[in-house]
A and B are shown apart, each in its own frame.
Chain A
Amino acid sequence: MADTNQYLRLTLADRNFLLPSTASLAIEQKESIQMGALPRGSIIGHRNVSGSKWPVLSLSSELQGDTSAAWTRAVFVGNAIHAVGIAVNEVMLLPRQDTVVEPFNPVGPPPTSAGHIFSGAWIHEGRVVLVLDPKGLSGYLQTLAEGS
């Protein structure tokens, strides 16, 4: 069955992914992120929220650590206690009627115990745009952050 939820289009490097809009805890401009003097692993900065630090990770279009990637905003996922941000070049809220997402199950083992990073796909102009799974993405980012 087609999913008619609303989605954010995230651009990392030159590649687009979709994220259910309800999965986003916050979207912050780059200027409001506390930048580290030096990147620590994939972590390029953090956001201070009520005494806790939400790390911001910089990733390549293959979702591997890449602190050289250009970015303008951070999109935070997870929960208020264990939130993680992903640095993106662009964020756009897609019109609901334009986005028909079908279920997609990657083959092979998921990268973390939280499950696969993708759970859907949108076919746009004949090209596959993968849809991020909030739980799988959050688990993957947490694992990257803890390893940094």
Chain B
Amino acid sequence: MNQPVGQRVHILQIPIRSMMVVVPISNTAEVTNVGELVSIPCSPAWVQGAVAWRGRAIPLFAFESLLGKPISPISSRSKVVIFNPLTGRKDWEFFGMLATSEPHPGVVDNIEPLTMATSEFASNPYVAAEIRLQAKRGLIPNLDTLARVFYL
């Protein structure tokens, strides 16, 4: 997730409500339809449940909940972005994030982090950086912090 400034990066733009989450496409495994979501009892509110994917159960989390925003309702346009296991985790520990609509791949030549002091997420540990994408802003998740909250 710590891409040097000036490097060409293939990204996936993941719409969540009015926000755009941006991740290197190499961190993702697949984008799928939501399918049947089952709850995981005794999980925190930011865990939305689990879906079946390639014969496994994949836990889904709501990034917007970790940002202090209401969880987006699931609709017919919703998609699941399956992420590859985080560094140091077992090779089957995929996880998913719900997108409110179809994510889009893209390429950025120069990642220019905005000054976080002006961001409403300046003090949020789950945001590594906020960047400008044409006319939009994109949030880059802090995967190190996510790993800590996922696997305490």
Q: Which residues of A contact B (CB under 8 A)?
A: 61-64, 100, 102-111, 117-118, 121, 123, 126-128, 130, 140
User: Is residue B55 within 8 Å, beta carbon to beta carbon, of the partner chain?
Assistant: yes
With a cutoff of 8 Å between Cβ atoms, the chain B residues found around residue A118 in the complex are: 40
Interface residue from A105, A121, A123 paired with B93 (Cβ < 8 Å):
A105
Interface residue from B38, B47, B50, B55 paired with A108 (Cβ < 8 Å):
B47
Shortest CB–CB separation between residue A112 and chain B, in angstroms? 9
With a cutoff of 8 Å between Cβ atoms, the chain B residues found around residue A103 in the complex are: 90, 92
> Which residue of chain A is the closest to B45 with respect to CB atoms?
A108
Q: Which residues of B contact A (CB under 8 A)?
A: 35-36, 38-44, 46-47, 50-52, 55-57, 59, 61, 90, 92-93, 95, 149-152
Shortest CB–CB separation between residue B134 and chain A, in angstroms? 32
Q: Does the CB pair A108–B46 fall under 8 Å? A: yes
> Which residue of chain B is the closest to A123 with respect to CB atoms?
B52
Q: Does the CB pair B52–A111 fall under 8 Å? A: no
With a cutoff of 8 Å between Cβ atoms, the chain A residues found around residue B95 in the complex are: 107
A89 to B40, alpha carbons, bound, how many Å?
A: 20
> Which residue of chain A is the closest to B150 with respect to CB atoms?
A107
Q: Does the CB pair B41–A128 fall under 8 Å? A: no
Q: Does the CB pair B43–A106 fall under 8 Å? A: yes
